[in-house]
Chains A and B, each alone.
Chain A
């Protein structure tokens, strides 16, 4: 058997073996690894565009009053910044890129359960993104509603809301189908011997995520269609002047959009859970607790949506019930943090770039989570709701959390993806800039938020100037960090990567870098006494 392997090594998935070559070979490939990579490239483009829009906002906010452009442009900017970052970057995010690239290998499968459906999901993603972006160039100008599309403003504004909303609707289908695909894959295609509680924890987090994708996304889908119906046919769902209820919109929107936060963050937690044991060379501490806490977050996450609406005029009872439930969801997140730190105890730690980013993630995620506590509590929420404090909080979660986990994941699986290493020193420098810039950009927003600076403000009162200016410099450092990272990864070919550069134990480290098309020459099995993290 080994004889055979030596004579005819399978070509890597990066080599075109089908009837097409080059770009067409990628666009028609149903290989989960290629699809994952295509998502990654698309997301890096969208992330760069979204980031640039963010910088444009910070430039205008450097001084109070109007500097470079008027309020209409600003309102359009924060809307499309939100739409791009939320719907095309962080929601598909780690699940679409690394769920596709790594998950099937990690559970010992040749591909996902429905490879064609997987490619179709990617095309829906591209189509949805194009429709959403077309809103900028067609109709009566860029939408100016914010990514939340709150009614009745989204019904009444004359800007091109329909294209943006329809784009988000199409993107939703991409998400639903990916979720469905992953659920079936993990149920049906695990390696022999790999029971659910022997599955690595990144797949576990994707499993929890996938259920949210499948169950929650349809709600936002229909809600977005209702906006279109209301705009086109004047059916009064949400606009009181047509007989609708604007608070109903908020309920429907957040019933999806709050669980969507967990769609973003769960896979991020999953990646961190993979990285820490590898670089500590130690079994993950509290395997079951981490796996179950993912499911707990997914489940409890459904019942907390109205904490976005404490000031909307809901009954006092609704307010305190949602506050209480919100606090419960904090606990499983805390469990994960404790287990990560405990895993480092008595390990043998190598601080390589993926691990460095994982440490950064834990710190930023803790700040994001803990500042969320005063948003969950009633009295404090009333004060900071819809202020820059909220902006800072969710950027700490979705950028400090999801973003840094994404960067960690790129550095972690890059050698497997391309069969090449990268320059560690450069990677560490990218961390220094990203981490410093990030905190400089978003931390002052907590402070001016508590001082009373509302969000989505084109102009602001003079007492907020200093905070806004510090944020600007943070944004510049952050942008530099991102550019350093791109240079590190894509400027020149690194040394050839071994099959298992980090000493990992999960299946992807037992196959060549880059993997062959069908991942495994011999289908892997998990023995009775084996587990996913058998470090010696």
Chain B
């Protein structure tokens, strides 16, 4: 049995298409090589001119036409259930943002890992907060884009317990290849227990919630480690060397510098980092939010 309810149909379509293709690839190549050998000018010094043959042409139009329609059919039949979600499916909202997947369960509970019960229909409502991402679970043979401003969806029934890779397949910037997580397929009771234990609402500081919402934490860690850029931990009050219009100078990371770095990141770039990677958040992060961020920075000095 496949890892999801779609595996069987999709794999059958692959087998039909690859089977027919392989037959023709081997067949045509063999015939071609045989002709090259048999009718080599050493063995066959005079070519025999042959007239066009309409019956032959029609034959090799008709046969491939029938075969490709067959392939279309297998592809369609395996695909069409992928768009028909059972009414009782568990609803999970998937939020894609650079470069993290977040799975939101009923009551707004959030998890970085997709945990689902076995043998239950699960519908994933795909959302994106920035650019296009695509949620791909190879073991389940499914994929659908999370497009900002659109409400795409996918669904599946997991049929095997275990852990499976979850990847992003639409290129989404710097850390595209790190936008991956797992899906854990567990028994129904385990699922219920896990969901219950999942904290109701984030008890994180407001500033951190804002940072996460804007995907700041995709590049800036809060534990002192380096992802892409400087960590937020211990940042406030630090002295940094920055490049301003090509000249190096020292600045203390204070409220004014943080504001300018968020609203116009390329103005003063810390030495050792590259320009043009972070977008300006002018008009995205409000003044009120900015104050909460700064409060949070002060708290993790």
Contact = CB atoms under 8 A, between A and B. Distances in A.
A, B assembled together: yes
Contacts of B40: 348-351
A288 B35 CA distance: 23
B72 interface: yes
A431 interface: no
Given A150-B132, A286-B52, A377-B13, A382 B79 contact: yes
A317 B168 CA distance: 25
Nearest to B10: A379
Interface stretch (A38-46, A324-332, A421-429, A475-483): A324-332
Interface in B97-121: none
Interface in A345-391: 345-351, 359, 362-363, 366-367, 370-371, 373-374, 376-383, 385-387
B177 A347 contact: no
B170 A71 contact: no
A319 B80 CA distance: 10
Nearest to B32: A341
B207 interface: no
Interface string B143-162: 11101111110000000000
A362 B32 contact: yes
A373 B17 contact: yes
B288 interface: no
B257 interface: no
Contacts of B275: 140-141, 158
A359 B279 CA distance: 51
Contacts of A344: 32, 35-36, 39
A379 B176 contact: no
B14 interface: yes
A281 B39 CA distance: 11
B175 A338 contact: no
A400 to B, nearest CB: 13
Contact of A313 (B60, B75, B79, B150): B150
B165 interface: yes
B143 A323 contact: no
B271 interface: no
A380 B35 contact: no
Interface string B16-45: 011001001100110110011001110011
Nearest to B135: A311
A203 to B, nearest CB: 19
A152 interface: yes
A348 B44 contact: yes
A230 interface: no
B49 interface: yes
A415 to B, nearest CB: 19
B265 to A, nearest CB: 8
B193 interface: no
Nearest to A351: B36
Interface stretch (B63-71, B195-203, B246-254): B63-71
Interface residues of B, number: 85
A456 interface: yes
B177 A386 contact: no
B60 A379 contact: no
Contacts of A283: 49-50
Contact of B177 (A281, A313, A346, A458): A458
Contact of B72 (A327, A337, A450): A327
Given A282-B47, A345-B39, A454 B61 contact: no
Contact of A386 (B29, B147, B165, B169): B169
Nearest to A458: B177
B6 interface: yes
B171 A153 contact: yes
A75 B174 contact: yes
A313 B152 contact: yes
Contacts of B39: 280, 344-349
Contacts of A158: 266, 275-279
Interface in A109-160: 139-141, 144-146, 150, 152-153, 156-160
B234 interface: no
B36 A349 contact: yes
B142 interface: yes
B143 A456 contact: no
A408 to B, nearest CB: 15
B256 interface: no
Contacts of A153: 131-132, 171-173
A159 B276 CA distance: 6
Interface string A181-193: 0000000000000
Nearest to A309: B145
B82 interface: yes
Contacts of B170: 150, 386
B89 to A, nearest CB: 17
A453 to B, nearest CB: 9
A245 B148 CA distance: 9
B60 A338 contact: yes
B18 A374 contact: yes
Contacts of B10: 379-380, 382-383
Given A140-B276, A311-B144, A346-B47, A387 B75 contact: no
Contacts of B24: 366, 370
The residue among A139, A286, A316, A457 with the most chain B CB atoms within 10 A of its own CB is: A457
Given A157-B279, A387-B169, A452-B165, 19 more contacts: A140-B275, A240-B149, A246-B132, A287-B52, A313-B147, A316-B80, A320-B79, A324-B72, A327-B69, A335-B60, A341-B28, A341-B35, A348-B45, A349-B35, A367-B25, A374-B17, A374-B75, A379-B6, A461-B180
Interface of A: 71-72, 75, 139-141, 144-146, 150, 152-153, 156-160, 240-241, 245-247, 280-283, 285-289, 311-313, 316, 319-320, 323-324, 327-328, 330-331, 334-335, 337-339, 341-342, 344-351, 359, 362-363, 366-367, 370-371, 373-374, 376-383, 385-387, 450-452, 454-461, 535-536
> Top 7 A-B pairs ranked by shortest CB distance?
A377-B75, A452-B138, A140-B276, A240-B149, A379-B78, A378-B79, A370-B21
26 contacts: A72-B277, A153-B173, A157-B173, A246-B147, A286-B52, A287-B52, A311-B143, A311-B145, A320-B76, A320-B79, A323-B72, A324-B72, A327-B68, A331-B65, A341-B35, A362-B28, A373-B17, A373-B68, A374-B75, A382-B141, A382-B142, A450-B14, A452-B167, A454-B167, A455-B169, A461-B165
